[in-house]
Amino acid sequence: MAISESFVTLPMKAGKNLTQQSVLVVCETVSSLLTPVVEISQGKLRGSRSLFGQNRYYNIPYAVAARFQKPKEPSKWHGIFDAIHSSLQLRCPQWRKFFVFGKEECLYLDVFSPEWATPRSKLPVMVYLHGGAYYMGAKNLYDPEFLVVKNTVVVTVNYRLGVLGFLCLNGISNLGLRDQVAALKWIQKNIAAFGGDTENVTLCGESAGASSAAFHLLSELSRGLFHKMILMSGTALSVWAFNQESTEPAFKDASKISEVNSDEDVFKVFTEAPLETLIKATKDTSVNPRYFKYSPCVDSHNPDPFFRDTPYNIMKSGNFNSVPVMMGFTESEGSYFYGLLDESSVANLNDNFADMIPSLFSWCPNNRQQVATLLRSHYFGCGNITMNSVNNLVRFYSDWVAYAAILAFSKVLTKFSNKPVYNYLFAYEGDREFAKIFIRDLKGPVHAGELFYIFKPFGISMLLSTRDERFIVKFTTMMTNFMRYGNPTPKTSKLLPWPPATKNASNIMVLDQKLSVLKQPYKRHTGEFFLNLLCTYGEAGYVPCDSSQICLKN
């Protein structure tokens, strides 16, 4: 999930260490100082310098692309390009309640660096990919000041979303992922001008952004473009990360615009439709365990594939981009999704549960109903699913969103990679829990909860409690240590040592006021039942194990 714009107008939860019940929101103003002129491959540019000693370069074009075409290098410019102002409109097209927000010319990135950085600084670089179910989100929702003050360079990236970025049809595939490759290539060519080290790039993402990042581990197109990875609540083996039924929703959506009878008809309708018509026809996505309808797909049949095989098969082969990985999930992932439910959506889940199970279970026609019976019995018993099924719904969503696949992905990496894997459980519940406004006072940090201790939403400075400030220092120190050294707690660190996972121990760092390490998987929500079903009845090559491929009998 991406940070939601609705958070910006709402008060934060009053923390125990705050003296007032409301939170002072201080809008950070940009000083009148401009950065020195920087020269990159496209020409010269300048950004703005914040009051907090941060250079900011907004909306730099890293590629250009016509609709449903692969990204190409951007044109050069004459004079000095003003990368001074952020813009909400310069995001990739997406539906926002009642209208289309964004424009098709959207392949921009922002660069943040310390004010003293020079081309000789060679600072570690983070490239952040936003979440949002592959259909919403933007780079400008994340201000990385907490990371930049620790002497790093951070790049936030727009990439095409929804049908424009993830249509898999007629030889078109994974354009959003290809946009990300173009951004990584731009960074290799230009980041040194901002003080970044081209040989120390950490690719980072949250939710769909994390799955996107993890896919670059598996693609030959991304080889050599990054050196470390941070994954928050998403992996290449998450059950929602792929849609094996990619043509079906495309036909349904195209038929809303015009009559279609073939792949070519669908492609023609989507190509010729006005932007608003296209986005409106394809806008609906569902927060259920089945799939996000426009999402990455295996395109090994294409002449220039992003994936040469299914994710698990690539990992099992050992022929992937092995780098150190830091990855984890929040204590109450499913609470966020419970907060998005209403009476109607829960009634639909109750009445049509078999249609809501992950598409990974649908390889055999007989499986869907019987696997659904097993899932429903395990999570909800024999009764109806209602809004009162709070704990069961949270556990169900937690397992399919994160726990099962993330713990399994860690095991797969540990087995097939020769680089360290650092697991975490984000358990800190502080005063920046914006999402708690929407989730009916459920306990524990929710999906995307850690983002508010890494980024300042929308660049807005907010009064920090002493408790939050201490945790942010601790958390971002571990993140930037990992970026710099490939180890969140190197020998010089005074923090509790964070051991990498082994074949016999998960070694999960519990990120809370007081750090601790769990040697074995998180006991409260391990997702083991969900994972066992995937490994028995899931579609081979997509689940984090060797599926038994058992076709259940009626």
Residues with a catalytic annotation lie at 207
Residue 323, amino acid: V
Task: Please name the helix (run of DSSP H) or strand (run of DSSP E) that holds residue 238, with its range, or none.
Answer: none
Unique residue bearing structure tokens 């026809």:
281
Measured from the Cβ of residue 84, the count of other Cβ atoms closer than 10 Å reads: 17
Contact yes or no for 183/106 (Cβ under 8 A)? no
Mapping DSSP to helix (H, G, I), strand (E, B) and coil, where does residue 169 land? strand
Which residue(s) pair with 229 in the sheet? 203, 325
Separation between Cα atoms, residue 399 and residue 404, nearest integer Å: 5
Instruction: Find the helix or strand (DSSP H, E) in which 327 lies.
Output: strand 325-330
| Exposed / middle / buried, residue 550 (Cβ in 10 Å: 0-12, 13-18, 19+) | exposed
CA distances from 404 to 46, 256, 533, 535 (A): 45, 36, 11, 11
Q: How far apart are CA 508 and CA 519, in angstroms?
A: 6
What is the rounded distance in angstroms from the CA atom of residue 239 to the CA atom of residue 243? 9
Contact between 38 and 193 (Cβ < 8 Å): yes
Calculate the CA dihedral of residues 334, 339, 343, 347 and round it to 10 degrees.
-20
* Dist. CA 226–CA 164, nearest whole Å: 25
Q: Phi, psi (5° rounding) for residue 333?
A: -50, -45
Q: Which residue's entry shows tokens 């074949």?
A: 503
Cα angle: 498, vertex 488, 177; to 5 degrees = 120
Closest CA to 8 of 455, 418, 426: 455
Sheet containing 80-82: which strands, arranged edge to edge?
38-40, 43-46, 80-82
Between CA 350 and CA 24 the distance in angstroms is 42
Tokens, residue 78: 């004459």
Provide DSSP, 98-146: TEEES-S---EEEEEEETT--TT--EEEEEEE--STTTS--GGGEE-HH
Token reading at 229: 């990875």
- State how far the Cα of 95 lies from the Cα of 284, in Å rounded to an integer: 9
- Tokens 């540990």 locate to 414
- Separation of alpha carbons 23 and 408, rounded Å: 40
Tokens standing for 195?
């003080």
